[in-house]
Amino acid sequence: MGTKAQVEAAVDRLSQAASDLDDQTRARIPDRSVSVHVLDLDTAYSGQFSGGRLTDVVEINPELATNATFRLSCSSDDFIALIDGELNFGSAWASGRIRISAGWRDLLELRKLI
């Protein structure tokens, strides 16, 4: 099981990955609220994609994670592996290791970061 510090570091890497995208790719990322519910740590984080960048990331009560437009739920290990490129997004989603609630367009655009 990943630690809270490891998950927060992965959130930081995700934010940096968004900042590192070229302008054209960043422009295609829709402005959306996002949340990650880390099930085994019973914690959640929310932020905002704005202008192709992930901003305003804060820890929130897991019950509030359902308020975001793009919601991801998974274990700490799976989240860390997903962000580090060690877990394939599509196969993790298809196998139920990660759960996502988002529109199809949002899913296609935001998965480019992972």
For the domain with range 4-113, which CATH number is right: 3.40.50.620, 3.40.228.10, 3.40.50.1580, 3.30.1050.10?
A: 3.30.1050.10
pLDDT value at residue 29: 80
pLDDT in tens, 52-107: 888 999 999 999 999 899 999 999 999 999 999 999 988 999 999 999 998 877 77
Please write the tens of the pLDDT for every residue from 8-47: 999 999 999 888 888 888 887 888 899 999 999 999 999 9
- What b-and-e string marks burial along 58-92, b requiring 16 or more CB atoms within 10 Å of the CB? eebebeebeebbbbbbbbbbbbbbbbeeebebeeb
Residues ≥6 apart with Cβ < 8 Å to 84 = 10, 13
